[in-house]
Each structure stands twice: as C-alpha cells, then as structure tokens.
Chains A and B, each alone.
Chain A
C-alpha cells in the first residue's frame, strides 16, 4: 500500500504536466465547431429549463377549454400570445415544454448515470478478474440483453401503480428530485421509478464496452508493475484501469443520454412512461400525435426539442470522441 507512491506510467503523479492533457482535449474539441455550438445551445437550454418556474408565462397544468388547439405564434381568444400554441386541454405548449425539458433531460441524465455506473463497475470487474467471474458476468449480461423489454415494462408499471412506495425512496431524496424536476414529491417518486426502469436496459452495452477496454488495458506493463509492488486490486482498478478506460466511457455516456431520451418518449407512447399532467416531451408527443389529422402542427411542437437535444448531444458525443481519442493527433 505504502509503496504505491512510486512513479508508475499512467499514475496521476507521473503526468506532471498532465493538466495540459485536458487542455489538449479542449483544443481538439473546439475544432469540432458544431459540437461547440451544440454544447453552448444545450447549456442554454438547461439554464432556461432551470428557470422554468420563473419564466413560464402560464400555469403548467390548468386546463382552459376556451383556448384549445391555438396554433403557434398566434393570439388566442383571451388575447394571450401563444408562442408554441396550446394543447388539447388549452394548456400552453411553451410553458409545458419548459417544465418538460427539466423532467425529460433530468430523467435521461439520471437514468444514464445509473446505467453507466452499473455497466462500468460490472464491466471492470469482469474484464479485470477474468476467469469464472468474467463468465458469470458476461453470461448474465447476455441473459439480461435478451430480456423482453415490453414484458418487463408491463410488470413494472403495474407494480408501481399498486403502490408507489414499493420502491423505498427516502423523503429527502424524493424532495431533492422534486426540486430538480420542479414537480411535487409524489410526481418525483413516479419519475424516479421510470428512471429505474429506463436504467435497467442501458447498462449491458456499457458493461461490454468497459470489459473490452479493461481487457486491453490490464495487459499493460504499468499494471503488472504496480501489482508487483503490492497494490490492491481496488487501487489498481481505481487509479490505473479506470482512468485509462474513461474516454470511451464519456462518449458512451453522452450517447446513452440520447438513447434514453428517445426511449423515454417511446415509453410514453406505449403508455408506460411518466403520466400526464407531469409533462415530458414524450408524453406530450404521444398525446399530440393522436390529433395529427386535425392539427398536423401539434406533433411537431414536442418533436422539435427532442430532435434538437438529440442532435446536439450526438454532436457533443462526436466531438468528445474525436477529442479524447489518444491516437488522433493535432
């Protein structure tokens, strides 16, 4: 344990000028202009959605039957300007989109975070220890990957309805989520349940990726030398293996957010996602699409933010991949 201060390649201390590494990444990232633009726009969107309760012009849930199906950029019968129009219950699309971006982006972020954490941990263990540990984890992964998603959703959603408290969430955490998503604690519990469901499906890919990374990293000389010096497995994993496998994980995480974002809206379309009146882009889209013959603009309104964020996140992922790839020069 004490001997690990020895300089080992790849150890943080070994990269004395290592802070410049991130500068290199930053410089490379800036070369991908659209990725930079995407990042800026996405950050702006996050800021705007964080300010939703302040800047939203109308109440989130109150239906108003007199002002239904108001098209975008028009003034309704009450004299209110509707930037993005109103929905089938006369609720303001702009207001709901603001709140929804908080829920949708937050849900995607947390679900991916959980999935990636599980995936990275399992992948790392499988790759590092190899042998039967690897076999068990890899085969389990395969079993999970063959799980019928739809069945699981049907079961999960019915269990959740039966008792929303069947997933024990401490009050302070529910309150924290409620604060993050700008919803009531009760809604936050439902959102958290959906986060759990979504995170069930994303982690197998990450685990496989991580396992592959670790397999190639662990054969490096510096790992062997630090093991020879008596470093514990945890320490080797944490200090050497993980940092070296990190770049592709960051990219994977970014793209995972995108996949979860789309999955959430597909889930809502099937009726198993977060329920109205809590707005998400997905459930707004699922309602709007049933009015497509009378009001073809309606499904467009919630589609556009999903489209925008998804493209932006993809570009950021692209930029990160290009920037973090050690083989790429310049």
Chain B
C-alpha cells in the first residue's frame, strides 16, 4: 500500500507538471494577446502612437520576451531570475526582445519581409531586477496582469472563492440530497410511474446546455414575474446594492440575509436541477445491480421485510461505489460553473476564468487552471484508493 501510494503520488506529481506545462503552452498559443492588440495600433499616427520600445515594455510586463520553457519555469518556481549563482551565464540568451527580419527575394524579383530569428536577444543578466513571482510551486501565483493590474492573483481568487464555494457546495449537496433518494426509489420501483416521472425530470436537467435554464429562469422568475406584479427574484448578483420591494414580501434590505438568500436561490436551483440527473442515475444503476445480488435474494428468501432488505442490505452496498464519485466533487467545488455564473452575474471563480481568458490575464488563468489540475488529480487518486478499499477484488496497480 505504501509503495503504491508513493509511486502514485510521484506519478501524480509528474502528471501535474506535464499537464501544467501543456496548459501553459496552449494558453500562449491562443490567438490574440496583449502585444497583438498593440501591434494593431502600431500604425496609429496620433498621440497614442506606439513604437518598438513600447512593445518591448509590454512584452516585459507579460514576460512574453522570455522563451516559453523559461517563462514556464519562472512561473512555476521563480527561476531563472538572473545569472545563475550570481554570475554564471550572464550573457546566455533565454529570450528575444526584437524579432529578426529577413527579406526573401524570389527568383522573379519579387520580395517580401518576414519575421524570422531574433535581432536582439534577452540575456540572463537583463532578467535581473525584473519582477518575478516566487513560483506557483511555492504558493505564489504572481500578480494579475490585467483584471486587477499589478495586484496579487491570490487576492483576486480570495475575493471570488467564498462565492464559488457556497454556490457549488450548496448545489452539489442539494443535488445529492434530492438525487440519491430518487435514484433509490426509482430502482426499487423499477418501471413504475414514479420511476418514469422522476427519470424524465432528471433527464430534462441534463439535456439542455445550462445557459438555457439560466435565461429561462431569469425571464420567468424575474422579468415576467415582476411585470405581472407577482413576487419576483432578483435576476442576478450575489448581493444587492440598494433596497427593493417585492410584492407580498415587502422591502428587502440590500446586503441583508434575505437579499443574499433571494439572489442565491436561482443559480443554486438551476445548478442543482442540472446535477440531479447524474446522481440519481448513478444511484439507480448501482442499486439495481445490488438488488440482483445473491445476498439480497437470500435475505428476501429468508422472509426479511422488503424495507429492511432495502435499507440494511441493498442501500449500504449500493452506496459503496457512490463514495468514489465524491472525489470528483473536489475539483467541481473550486472550478465553479463557467456558464451559470456568467448568466447570473455570480462573482465566482468560473466567471473570473472566462473574464481572465478574454482579457489575456495569463497569471490569473494559469492559477485557476493549475488549482483545477491539482484538485482533479487528487480526486482521481482518491477515487483509485477508495476503489481498492471498497472493492477488494481490484488490486492496486
């Protein structure tokens, strides 16, 4: 067991680095970017005209003039931040400040100018004094480059985390509390009207993209309800900024518990509705399987009451594989819901991710991706371990 754990954790470590490296590389492959936006303005003849020196400064701010592998290690472990051991390799090139240009002359006399190679290399010595984080590895995610410019990414995440945790936590908990009983009951009364009804409702939740439920909920419970003079829910946000009046309920004070609760209601319901299907289907499946097992049949044959059979024998065993699913919850809890958060203007990490991606805030995007990767891998590891615990037939591989 110990050997297995050591091996797996080592493998996980390698996978984390590889996954982070790939994400990091992909991120910089995405077209557009801060320099792209500047280059488009390069020809601007007005007072905000930019030149090569301006571009270089922006590249420096985003570390874009450092070659990708070194940019990655600077991000990961804050190295290199200058010549090695203070003096070695001061003139080693680890980046390019100005791309080189080559004129291609074709046999027919036409020519073109293409960027190729490097005209001005960045050396280790020039890195000295440049701002660098201590490295993600040591818990420093660096500073936000756009969204909260030059302020720590961890601050940014800290402001959003409580909202994502509460939203995801509540909706996952609710989905389990609702989904599991439905699944059990559907299995016990297989092909009953209840089974069909509940299954259909669960399927509806998983059959449409989440934005559809979001916009319909806003339309029906906020806009149309308010127009009709009925009690309505605020369409979005986590906290109100001023008092408002709801028919039958009265004035709701901004920032009060009621205000927060009303705003919490719609996103949580939508997310719960979407997730119920997964849980109830899973439980129904494993319950059906257990109900066919010999010991359940034996218990029945011995005349044990059906209710006892189900609660004592079947339920307990059918929930064993269920714990393995809980591991995946870990990443979901922190990842947030990208689309639902955006639709409801919920100030969580999912919305932050989309925002950061759209505005090229590389440090923020990578911090979120990295946390997600680590949690996902921890989740997979826990799942594998739990599997071996609940099902002794599976050997540790």
Contacts and interface: CB of A to CB of B under 8 A. Distances in A.
Interface of A: 31-34, 130, 134-135, 139, 142-143, 145-148, 150-152, 154-155, 158, 215-216, 258, 262, 265-266, 269, 282, 285, 289, 292-293, 296, 299, 303, 306-307, 310-311, 314-315, 318, 321-322, 325, 327-329
Contacts of B311: none
A306 B289 contact: no
Nearest to B224: A296
A311 B339 CA distance: 22
B67 interface: no
Given A135-B11, A303-B212, A307-B208, A142 B26 contact: no
A227 B11 CA distance: 31
B5 interface: no
B204 A311 contact: yes
Given A33-B191, A306-B207, A289 B215 contact: yes
A241 B338 CA distance: 40
Interface in B209-235: 209-212, 215-216, 219, 223-224
Contacts of A306: 207-208
Interface stretch (B27-35, B54-62, B158-166): B27-35
B15 A142 contact: yes
Contact of B216 (A150, A262, A299): A299
A143 B216 CA distance: 36
Contacts of B293: 327
Contacts of B372: 146
Contacts of B285: 321
Q: Decide if the interface of chain A is mainly helix, strand, loop or mixed.
A: helix
Contacts of A285: 209, 212
Contacts of A32: 191
B199 A318 contact: yes
A154 B212 contact: no
A212 to B, nearest CB: 8
Contact of A148 (B23, B281, B289): B23
A145 B204 CA distance: 26
A84 B216 CA distance: 19
A143 B18 contact: yes
A134 B369 CA distance: 26
A289 B204 contact: no
B397 interface: yes
A151 B357 contact: yes
B367 interface: no
A303 B191 CA distance: 27
The 3 closest A-B CB pairs, nearest first, are A310-B207, A266-B209, A146-B19
B76 interface: no
A160 to B, nearest CB: 12
A158 B36 CA distance: 15
Interface in B282-339: 285, 288-289, 292-293, 338-339
Contacts of B212: 285, 289, 299, 303
Given A142-B19, A327-B293, 19 more contacts: A33-B191, A34-B196, A130-B397, A143-B22, A145-B376, A147-B19, A148-B369, A151-B23, A151-B29, A151-B357, A154-B30, A258-B206, A266-B210, A269-B339, A285-B209, A314-B203, A314-B207, A322-B288, A328-B292
